[in-house]
Amino acid sequence: MTEPAVLPKDPCADFASAEGRAHFARSLDCVHCGLCLPVCPTYQLTGNEASSPRGRIYMMRAVADGRISAEPGSTYDNELHFCLVCRACETVCPSGVQMEALVEHARCEMNKKTGPPSRARRFLLRTVLPDRKWLRRAADATAIYSKTPIGKILRKLGIVDWLFPGATAREALMPHVPKREHRRDLPALLPPVGEKRGRVAFQEGCVASQLLQDINEATVRVLTRNGWEVSLWKNPSCCGALHAHAGDLEFARELAKKNIEEFEKTKADFFILNSAGCGSHIKNYARLLEVETGWLHRAKEIAAKTRDIGEFLVETGYKPRNGPRALRVAYDEPCHLVHGQRVSAQPKQLLQSIPGLQLVPLAGATDCCGAAGLYSLERTTDSMAILDGKMQQIRASGCEVLATGNPGCILQYRLGARRAGMNLQIMHPIQLLDEG
Amino acid sequence: MAHSTPVPTSHADPVVQELVAALGENSVAADRDTLLAYECDGLALYKQRPRMVIWPNSTEQVSAAVRILHRFGVPIVPRGAGTGLSGGATPVENGALIQLSRMKRILDVNPTDRMARVEMGVINADLSAHVARFGLAYAPDPSSQTACTLGGNVAENAGGPHCYKYGATSLHVLSLKVVLSNGNITELGSPDADPIGYDLRTLFIGSEGTLGIATEAWVRLIPKPEIVETWLAPFASMDAACKAVSSIVASGIQPAAIEILDDRTIAAIEASVFAAGYPLDAAAVLLVEVDGAPIEVGRDGERIRGICQQFGALNIQFARDEDERKRLWKGRKGAFGAMGRVAPDLYVMDCVVPRSKLPAALDAIREICDRYKVRNANVFHAGDGNLHPNISYDGRDADETKRVLAAGEEIVKMCVALGGTLSGEHGIGIEKNIYMPLVFGAGELDAFANLRRAFDPDGLMNPGKVMPAALCGEIAGAMKR
Ligand SMILES: Cc1cc2nc3c(=O)[nH]c(=O)nc-3n(C[C@H](O)[C@H](O)[C@H](O)COP(=O)(O)OP(=O)(O)OC[C@H]3O[C@@H](n4cnc5c(N)ncnc54)[C@H](O)[C@@H]3O)c2cc1C
Ligand code: SF4
Ligand code: SF4
């Protein structure tokens, strides 16, 4: 593809503007073949091409060419936000269309027209997620809200909905918040067990640090048991993927730079993530920072050292698990692992190496679960429609445990199991490998 | 439909109002952006916004919609997945699109009699995947099979690499449920026996949405072959590759597929996600597949290899296991999209010449494209002389687009002059309707027009497609008289 050499500084220069066309050039890869239609979860729901990758790109092009205007509230706007950024279309697209990049950019541009985001949204994205202190407060508040009478009173007074419009209606989505002692920060440096093979950096993640710390503990246990010294930093506590997807490219860039600096300080050989979404985003830092002078090579370097935990263990070799786990396990492939990072065989290989574990086939394993970052909060009906379809396939697989490697998906499936009344354990593959 | 996406609808249009009342709010759209997204199908050269888009979820809903449109005299264009490459599903001015994307149920599988009843929005590859558990498959395998619908396949009489042995769609559809242009529902053919009297089922297959809308069908399934072997033979010249094909066919072997890709296609594939390890230094590669019982396959495979060697093929690759086969096919199946890397737009042509004329036709295509300064690459079903010249271009460049169209026209005329015809499998649509008089005389065209009128007296079904607009105008004129 012929891409102009000079990219604009403005993270979301208008598609139609002279400099925005450089971003827009990515959409020109689309040859309108339609091969992406059937894999798109939103097209599967509606059968409407405006909700398909091809349709979305077509509308973006029309905006760039000035054939339509990108008004907030238009179908174009709606379809931009209906997209899950699951990237399933990228896997099947023979022309190498970069849907994620296109949607992030188009959303960024749309945000400028829609005006400033709601108080709650801005607070969540810019204050809570990047800061461990705030994350902890938010988790504490959620626990108090859902487990004590205070919540009831606030709800009755309407304060909750005033702060977070529509929040009480979404209470069923609220995840279980573990007790405080189960969400302690990990130490900044963890020594390897036995001979040291090298040092890796690890990030606990924003949501996961509060809700899924047991998975983080299992991850570092496996890493240290395999001879890796593990180095961590607290802040920024978030990679910025949620920001980029929401079109807040400016802040996403800031977070990316800070994370790069922190990573460089650790002097680690690798950067390990157990969250598919974070891994995928960090591997994309170079795209995010391509126009920032002095950052491109640093972004490329961190990307080259970034590995998903499953990818890493298979690549570098690992001690197999000793104790058997006689479980029927289905593996669901997180979008941002299989489509975002093209990592598919390794997690299955890990699972298969566990004595006694039976890996059962799962239809639709590479389809999105509907979690998609903030999507399940913002487009709950669509998200649940997608989730309920997935739960049927999971039920049909006859598994006892569903293994998947992304915090958002794990929380979504726990919700799905509750909704479907299923007695199903949802785990990260690393927890199955871990013997701690 | 369980989704919250509002489909804003322009209720100013009385036809839309009635459609919404009959089918529901979520089944019709007429807003600016949705209509825009439907401007074209797989052939992006021609664009036209529809008046509305309709998504029925049953035969009855198709019929109800058609009745309303018929009453208001609104032209109708059926649409499946919109992967068609001749503009068959391109909207017509002021016309409705009826898309069958929500009718994707596999209604019945009868493994004993090897047939299945399916809705026409079922995706081709989904059917084969669904019946694989019975050791069965649906034979026609267009390269777009992961996306295109069975309805679109029926309308285009779609073929695929393996149709060289198994035959195109028409040999695999037993009966059709069809909604006619006045909304009446009718059955064509029967799953139980060959039809008595006029075989309207075969007439309908390949009619490109001009005779009605197919909503359901009984289709034939075939047992999956015991074993499959695939050979990839690189040649130093296109001529040698084509001669090898002729020699294979003449030897009496019945391969399941014989495909040729030229050097420019190979280069595009190897630069894309479909990189399959095809040799970049070959002038052409030949992809041959044989299937059946082990003894037969072993013997034919050896003979094919011998013939290829005789014509100078070097480093022949061979695949028997599923993964290796998939790799060898991956490039071929992805050739179209890989061309998308070359320029923003792609024009995929489809024409046929007698097999013996393949080298001459290919030389001519290259000469024509070079003369018009357009970028061309070729891939084709060599077994039946079905060429797919691909031309990459930038649709925003008006001059280049004009040159593409001019080159296309010369290529079509050249194929006809060599004793070939307009289309092997992509259909006529709006791309080639003006060329119909090149291959048919006035008498034949007249017979076509009469036939079409018998099904669609008001000229509402996909008007302007297949037959030149001028002829359709004559039909309208004749009707007035
Ligand atoms: C990458 C690529 C590869 C391809 N390879 C092949 C190939 O190998 N062989 C081949 O034959 N084609 C091929 N095609 C062309 C195309 O996929 C086929 O023509 C296919 O049959 C179209 O199916 P569709 O569902 O997309 O139909 P559409 O494009 O939506 O429609 C095609 C035509 O069928 C009509 N139609 C659709 N549904 C119905 C219905 N239910 N009732 C009546 N009329 C209907 C439409 O009006 C239109 O005229 C390829 C296309 C692409 C993009
Ligand atoms: S598969 Fe790729 S090239 Fe084809 S329509 Fe989809 S995005 Fe465009
Ligand atoms: S990213 Fe996912 S939801 Fe968005 S267009 Fe692609 S396949 Fe559809």
pTM of the model: 0.92
Judge if A196 and A289 occupy the same domain. yes
Q: Write out pLDDT tens, residues A281-318.
A: 999 999 889 878 889 999 999 999 999 999 999 999 99
Q: Is residue A4 part of a domain?
A: no
Q: Is residue A69 part of a domain?
A: yes
- Residue labelled with tokens 């084509």: B242
Structural domain containing residue A283: 182-314
Residue B275 has pLDDT above 60, yes or no: yes
- Which of the listed residues A314, A339, A371 is the one where a domain comes to its end? A314
Q: Is the CB of B426 under 6 A from ligand 1?
A: yes
DSSP state, B172? T
Q: In Å, what is the CA distance from B327 to each residue of B273, B274, B287, B333? A: 12, 9, 12, 10
Q: Is the CB of A102 under 6 A from ligand 2?
A: no
CA-nearest residue of chain B to A69? B33
Q: Is residue A126 part of a domain?
A: yes
Q: Which of residues 48-87 of A touch B (CB under 8 A)?
A: 48-52, 54-56, 58-59, 62, 65, 67-68, 74-76, 78-79, 82
Task: Note the pLDDT of residue B481.
Answer: 30
Count Cβ–Cβ pairs < 8 Å, chain A vs chain B. Answer: 147
Mean pLDDT for the stretch of residues A88-113:
91
B274 and chain A in contact, CB less than 8 A: yes
- Residue labelled with tokens 């198709």: B62
Q: Which of residues 331-390 of B touch A (CB under 8 A)?
A: 334, 336-341, 344-346
Residue spans of the domains in chain B: they are 106-223, 227-337, 343-417
CA-nearest residue of chain B to A70? B33
Helix (H) or strand (E) holding B336: helix B322-338
Supply A43's token pair.
Answer: 């097209």
Judge if A169 and A234 occupy the same domain. no
Mean pLDDT for the stretch of residues B382-394:
91
Nearest Cα residue to A172 out of A146, A203, A194, A205? A146
Q: How many domains does chain A have?
A: 4
Of A155-164, A329-338, B192-201, B230-239, the least confident:
A155-164
Per DSSP bridges, beta strands A198-202 and A228-232 are: parallel
CA-nearest residue of chain B to A54? B37
Judge if A215 and A261 occupy the same domain. yes
Q: Do B2 and A38 touch (CB under 8 A)?
A: no
In CATH, B343-417 is 3.30.70.2740: yes
SS3 sequence, chain A? CCCCCCCCCCCCCCCCCCCCHHHHHHHHHCCCCCCCHHHCHHHHHHCCHHHCHHHHHHHHHHHHCCCCCCCCCCHHHHHHHHCCCCCHHHHHCCCCCCHHHHHHHHHHHHHHHHCCCCHHHHHHHHHHCCCHHHHHHHHHHHHHHHHCHHHHHHHHHCHHHHHCCCCHHHHHHCCCCCCHHHHCCCCCEECCCCCCCEEEEECCCHHHHHHCHHHHHHHHHHHHHCCEEEEECCCCCCCCHHHHHCCCHHHHHHHHHHHHHHHHHHCCCEEEECCHHHHHHHHCHHHHCCCCCCCHHHHHHHHHHEEEHHHHHHHHCCCCCCCCCCCEEEECCCHHHHCCCCCCHHHHHHHHCCCCCEEECCCCCCCCCCCCCCHHHHCHHHHHHHHHHHHHHHHHHCCCEEECCCHHHHHHHHHHHHHHCCCCEEECHHHHHCCC
Helix (H) or strand (E) holding B42: none
Residue A247 has pLDDT above 80, yes or no: yes
| Among the partner residues B8, B123, B340, nearest to A31 by beta-carbon distance | B340
Chain A closest CA to B84's CA: distance in Å?
A: 8
φ/ψ (deg, to 5) at B185? -105, 135
Judge if A96 and A146 occupy the same domain. no
CATH pick for B227-337 out of 3.30.70.260, 3.10.20.740, 3.40.50.720, 3.30.70.3450: 3.30.70.3450
The domain that holds A29 is classified in CATH as: 1.10.1060.10
Q: Do A47 and B339 touch (CB under 8 A)?
A: no
Residue A258 has pLDDT above 90, yes or no: yes
Task: Note the pLDDT of residue B91.
Answer: 97
Judge if A53 and A97 occupy the same domain. yes
Q: Write out pLDDT tens, residues A355-406.
A: 999 999 999 999 999 998 889 888 999 999 999 999 999 999 999 999 999 9
Mean pLDDT for the stretch of residues B185-203:
87
Q: Do A95 and B340 touch (CB under 8 A)?
A: yes
Nearest Cα residue to B78 out of B213, B211, B216? B213
Pocket of ligand 3 (CB under 6 A): A 39-42, 53, 56, 83-89, 99
Q: Write out pLDDT tens, residues B277-318.
A: 899 999 999 999 999 999 999 999 999 999 999 999 988 998
Number of the ligand closest to the Cα of B334: 1
Mean pLDDT for the stretch of residues B143-163:
94
Most confident of A20-34, A321-335, A373-387, B384-398: A321-335
Judge if A152 and A188 occupy the same domain. no
B473 and chain A in contact, CB less than 8 A: no
Task: Note the pLDDT of residue B469.
Answer: 63
Q: Evaluate whether B429 touches B84 at the Cβ level (below 8 Å).
A: yes
Q: pLDDT band at residue A16, thresholds of 50, 70 and 90?
A: low
- Residue labelled with tokens 């339609």: A34
B40 and chain A in contact, CB less than 8 A: yes
Judge if A334 and A400 occupy the same domain. yes
Q: Evaluate whether B28 touches B34 at the Cβ level (below 8 Å).
A: no
Chain B positions in Cβ-Cβ contact with residue A42 (cut-off 8 Å) = 3, 5
A16 and chain B in contact, CB less than 8 A: no
State in words which class domain B106-223 has.
alpha beta
User: Which residue minimizes the CA distance to atom 5 of ligand 3?
Assistant: A53
Helix (H) or strand (E) holding B396: none
Judge if A198 and A309 occupy the same domain. yes
Do the domains B343-417 and B106-223 match in fold? no
Per DSSP bridges, beta strands B351-352 and B136-137 are: unpaired
Judge if A232 and A278 occupy the same domain. yes
Percent of chain A with pLDDT over 70: 90
Q: Do B345 and A31 touch (CB under 8 A)?
A: yes
**Cα R_g (chain B), whole angstroms:** 23
User: Which residue minimizes the CA distance to atom 2 of ligand 3?
Assistant: A86
Chain A closest CA to B121's CA: distance in Å?
A: 10
Chain B positions in Cβ-Cβ contact with residue A59 (cut-off 8 Å) = 33, 36-37
Judge if A215 and A279 occupy the same domain. yes
Q: Is residue A139 part of a domain?
A: yes
Q: Do B81 and A379 touch (CB under 8 A)?
A: no
- Residue labelled with tokens 């290529």: B411
CA-nearest residue of chain B to A92? B273
Q: Is residue A6 part of a domain?
A: no
- Residue labelled with tokens 């040799």: B279
Q: Do B336 and A33 touch (CB under 8 A)?
A: yes
The domain that holds A367 is classified in CATH as: 3.40.50.10700
Chain A positions in Cβ-Cβ contact with residue B123 (cut-off 8 Å) = 38
Task: Note the pLDDT of residue A298.
Answer: 95
Judge if A211 and A281 occupy the same domain. yes
Nearest Cα residue to B87 out of B29, B30, B145, B156? B156
- Which of the listed residues A92, A114, A136 is the one where a domain comes to its end? A114
Q: Is residue A406 part of a domain?
A: yes
Q: Do B123 and A38 touch (CB under 8 A)?
A: yes
**Residue A96 alpha carbon, nearest atom of ligand 2:** 2
Mean pLDDT for the stretch of residues A319-325:
91
Judge if A161 and A105 occupy the same domain. no
φ/ψ (deg, to 5) at A273? -125, 145
The domain that holds A241 is classified in CATH as: 3.40.50.1860
Task: Note the pLDDT of residue A157.
Answer: 66
Facing residues of A199 across strands? A229
Sheet of A189-190, strand order:
A189-190, A228-232, A198-202, A270-273, A306-308
Greater pLDDT, B121 or B471: B121
Task: Note the pLDDT of residue B2.
Answer: 39
